[in-house]
């Protein structure tokens, strides 16, 4: 195994890891918002459903959720596993998992806004919807960015859990190369790639946080 062949293999796995990362955020970030609103709803049924969903997702291992999402269509509907892409199952499991965490972050951000702002907007004749989207939501976005950044960074590392259902992301390839060549070099190289990936994500989140600093 040459250095360049190892690097090429790891970069191929990194592309898969990046796909899991991007598609998970595309699903989880918007999905977490209605879940947060449902959790805060005065409707006891809706609030209860969202509360139970969040509790189950946060109370069980992500690895177990990946296995469940992948095998559930086969067990429940008899759907052949060959027709159910592993990458799709991984993204769905990650998306539903992180949506629960994002929902709680959103909820905390919304509740952190002083109640007096709602009352002031009402005194000015603004409706509840207008107040939320024009006054409350912009401040909430700024406040939740640091917490979301932490979850996003965690997501980069969690992509390695895709090996549970044999998705060939970077960590899986690094283990295979390390085992077949009896060397730790691929694992060390994978660690470097993860660090660079995380550094770029952290830098992007920091820039985003500074962009919204005018709300301070």
| Residue 126 domain boundaries | 3-215
Q: Which two tokens stand for residue 193?
A: 């790639």
Side-chain half-sphere exposure of 208, counting CA atoms within 13 A: 16
62 phi and psi, to 5 degrees? -60, -35
Specify the pLDDT at position 102: 96
Q: State the pTM of this model.
A: 0.89
d(CA 91, CA 26): 10
Q: Could you give the number of structural domains in the chain?
A: 1
Task: Taking residues 123-132, report their average pLDDT.
Answer: 72
Helices marked H in the chain — which ranges?
3-40, 44-59, 62-77, 86-111, 115-123, 128-131, 137-158, 170-181, 185-211
pLDDT at 216 over 60: no
pLDDT tens string 157-188 = 999 999 888 888 998 899 888 888 888 888 99
Look up the CATH number of the domain holding residue 64: 1.10.3720.10
pLDDT tens string 194-209 = 999 999 999 998 888 8
């Amino acid at each position: 195994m040459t250095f360049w062949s190892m690097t090429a293999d790891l970069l191929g796995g990194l592309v898969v890891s990046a796909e899991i990362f991007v598609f998970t955020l595309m699903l989880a970030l918007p999905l977490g918002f209605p879940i947060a609103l449902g959790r805060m709803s005065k409707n006891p049924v809706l609030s209860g459903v969202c509360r139970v969903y969040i509790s189950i997702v946060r109370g069980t291992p992500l690895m177990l959720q990946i296995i469940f999402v992948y095998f559930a269509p086969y067990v429940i509907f008899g759907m052949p596993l060959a027709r159910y892409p592993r990458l799709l199952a991984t993204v769905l499991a990650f998306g539903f998992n992180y949506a629960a965490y994002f929902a709680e972050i959103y909820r905390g951000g919304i509740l952190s806004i002083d109640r007096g702002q709602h009352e002031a907007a009402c005194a000015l004749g603004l409706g509840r919807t207008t107040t939320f989207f024009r006054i409350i939501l912009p401040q909430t976005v700024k406040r939740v960015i640091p917490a979301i950044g932490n979850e996003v960074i965690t997501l980069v590392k969690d992509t390695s859990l895709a090996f549970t259902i044999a998705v060939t992301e970077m960590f899986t390839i690094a283990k295979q190369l390390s085992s077949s060549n009896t060397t730790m070099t691929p694992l060390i190289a994978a660690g470097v790639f993860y660090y660079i990936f995380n550094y770029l994500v952290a830098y992007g989140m920091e820039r985003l946080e500074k962009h919204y600093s005018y709300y301070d």
